[in-house]
Amino acid sequence: MTSPAALSPYKLREPGVSLALYRGLKWAVVAPLFYGYFSGRIHGQNQVPRQGPFIAVGNHASDFDPPFLSISMGRPVAFMAKADLFEVPLLGPGIRLYGAYPVRRGESDRKALRSAMAFLERGWGAGLFIGGTRTADGRIPEPKIGAAWIAAKMQVPLLPVSLWGTEQIKGAVKPRQVPVTIRIGELIEPPASTQRPLLEATTEQCVAAIHQLHDLGR
């Protein structure tokens, strides 16, 4: 695990107002849905760094994944969101404080990655789905190296996270009431540089860890 001393260029925590908003939305909205409707379980929360930047990397099968992954961290995690949402009164400022950053359709992935880096510089955790898009079975057949690239540039650790069961949520009329389990693995050290072979090796290490957690099921 990267020590606070090694993170001297960065703040150690996100702003207090963001933490307060995170806790409010977590317990008022997301947690009742996760624990109540989906009978949610979270394993391995002790693996999450209590302070300092890190990158949570997970599989992705549902629109419910970002808020569910976020509450499993116990602290705010920055995710990308559609730029149009930031133009909605009250909602826009609220999700920005919560840790969202805008991405417009058609913009380069590199711009989104740099937005995530800006949050890491301010002491946040960042959340990235390592496959880049949703898959029907929650597996990661074509991982992207973006998370490893950020980790190498910023020298922050990666935290593998498996979301199990969310691939079954989508229903024709309303979300299917299925059990959901989140498993958090051990921190993975960042690549020593941005050389592609190192990025690919770290990405494969993350994917292997996520799949191993996913295979544990409920």
pLDDT class for 3, splitting at 50, 70, 90? very low
pTM: 0.88
The 10s digit of each residue's pLDDT in 16-25 is 888 888 899 8
Nearest CA-CA partner of 169 in 32, 45, 34: 34
| 51 or 102: which leads in pLDDT | 51
Q: Tell me the average pLDDT across 33-43.
A: 97
pLDDT at 96: 75
Q: Tell me the backbone φ, ψ of residue 202, rounded to 5 degrees.
A: -65, -40
Q: Can you list the positions of beta strands (E) in 40-171?
A: 41-43, 54-58, 77-82, 100-103, 125-129, 158-164
Domains of the chain: 12-215 (3.40.1130.10)
Q: Tell me the average pLDDT across 180-206.
A: 98
pLDDT class for 5, splitting at 50, 70, 90? very low
The 10s digit of each residue's pLDDT in 43-99 is 999 999 999 999 999 999 998 998 899 999 999 999 877 777 778 887 777 777 777
